[in-house]
Structure 1
Amino acid sequence: MTPGARAQAAIDLLDEIIASARGGGAAADTLIARYFKTRRYAGSKDRRAIRELVYRAIRRSGNIPDHGRAALVGLAREDDAVAALFDGGAHAPSPIEPVEAGSDGLVLPDWLSTRIAPEEHAALLERAPLDVRVNLARTDRASMASALAAELTPFSPAGLRLPEGSPVEASEPWAQGLVEIQDEGSQLIALAARAAPGMTVLDLCAGAGGKTLAMADSMGGQGRLIASDSNRARLSRLAPRAGRTGGIAIETRLLDPGRESAALADLADRCDVVLVDAPCSGTGTWRRNPEARWRLTPARLAQLVELQARLLDISAPLVKPGGALVYAVCSVLPEEGRLQADAFLERYRDYRFDQPGFIAGRQDGAGRLLTPAHDRTDGFFVARLVRA
């Protein structure tokens, strides 16, 4: 493909991503994968260049652009090399008109501008590093750092940070289940659970099981570990991952939304740890999913805050006296983090907050807040709440 054809392909993809964001459809990475699947003529260099243009245009477009061309024109206004791609050649976009509008720059909608500081917003739109968690039950971090040419992460004792673009999933350590791709912040949330051999541990919103597997590693093959979720497709991905990494057997429970308490009633007062990695706005993961900014609205945030409170209410009676409820969200918004944890402690006076046991982040009410600007992790709020 010519450079101009790559630019037009980026515009076509941006049109799809913008329409999907407006309609609540698939995420950008899914749409990009589908696009290339039907265009076998695009080589690896073409795909890499097109993807780079798409994500650069998304990252600098604060509000959702009118269309894909406007998104790329906005980038071209700041980058002469991109502007040169609008040459009107075969399969290339037509030249940019002097009065043609491009998308706006790095701005936030007014309703979010008081919730996210400018320096944090800028950091949330940088490219995310590639972190992995070492399965310490089967190997050691130094050996894996050498094998993968990685550096040690500063906070997680199991974390490694790899050079950008490292083919982790094509490596022997990954194939043997010795490492898992996981941001250092996610690793710290699993550490906050302090899962240990012999415990009964519930991962309420397990998804595909990244944090479940991290806790399994800490349990050393002893105890009871339950992973539950209401999303069948995501939960089904846990079993093959667990089989590759080995370790403790993991129970799975598919929950029916609205009937979670009945499905978990047998665990009342029996769990040493309940991890609630709740559905959230995902503001802390904008480095990986920058178009998620376009999907978030005040109404959507209110729905998520209500769901988070309900999940905490479901979890509270499952924790045995002396056990811990670990609440986490990949968000930097106070409504989903500090204010949510404070409201829980007001409702449940038999709970108190406890330090999560890691040094990263900043104290934020009853929990700790990790951010890309401060900690070089994804944005997370985590609170460890202990039942008296």
Structure 2
Amino acid sequence: MVLKTFGWSFAVTALGLVAAVFYGGWEAFGIVAILSVLEISLSFDNAVVNAGILKKMSAFWQKIFLTVGVLIAVFGMRLIFPVVIVAISAKIGPIDAVDLALNDKDQYQEIVTDAHPSIAAFGGMFLLMIFLDFIFEDRDIKWLAWLERPLAKLGKVDMLSVCIALIVLMVSSMTFAAHAHQHGGAHVDKAQTVLLSGIAGLITYMIVGGLSGYFEDKLEEEEEREHEEEEEARRTGKKKPAVVLAGQAAFFMFLYLEVLDASFSFDGVIGAFAITNDIVLMALGLGIGAMYVRSLTVYLVRQGTLDDYVYLEHGAHYAIGALAVLLLVTIQYEIHEVITGLVGVVLIAWSFWSSVRRNRALAAAEGKAHGSDEKTEVSSGV
């Protein structure tokens, strides 16, 4: 079961890590490994959501999502999108960006370094919005309850996450960006660049969120129509046309899943810029991670267990928040990629261990309750 589901992911991992060693030695191997773990951890909740929707789809549409969807997710978002970000930030063509990355690493590094403040501002704001919208939402299950309860109450204030994000952007542009260059009026230009890039990141988040919400509403409409048609079929005794329903509902599900995957790809790609600027290593690490996300989606669908580790989603979003802060800090200060990578890994591991402890405690409580019930039955029988 595991080999059948994760076989391709294991193969891609082996090839990707070997390619990383040949490309940049053992340091590149470590960066690709960290990027892979980062992508898996940040997209774990995406896999859970995907599985919840995918299990409602027919076998045909599941296959479409796991084939065409993989091409879009891996080659579209994880491989092409980082190049597009570098090209736009550095104001060069995508082909030139790839050519420089492969053939003139010194000049490419210089271009990316100059463009890094705008990339960091864009990515930092996008990731910060993901974190804020998560942390301000009132959830039934809370990981760090002492922190999440008061924040959930504050989240009832409309547009609070946007206001906080804009305040953080203004402070970053007046501090980190202002001190990035001290000669002449360069610091003013840098501050304006960071401000504009951060606003662009905020707008991008809102557009992606709007599209996701649009397709989610469409999906809910299809499900309501499906329920009404089923009720009508019961009353009249007529057979409902399953082909039309499956086609339309599954099509909207597919579109929604692709937009949702794209939105989660943003945080993986942007977070990767906090670890490395090398688009080759980025493509290898994120590509490996994307394969595991797809395999994990299939595994969750086949196993039917989506709620075993309830705190992982929290850990992933705390990792996103940490990466957002680190990206904004890197506008002025250089932070080693190992530190930025390990922060996310530690948070994910902590949330996983907390989930395991919770499951054990619940199992122990159920065992005690079952034992006391048996004792009560015995004493009643006596």
Compute the TM-score of the two structures, normalised by the length of structure 2. 0.24
Q: Indicate the structure with greater helix content.
A: 2
Q: Which has the higher strand share?
A: 1
Quick one: higher RCO (CA 8 Å, sep 6+), 1 or 2? 2
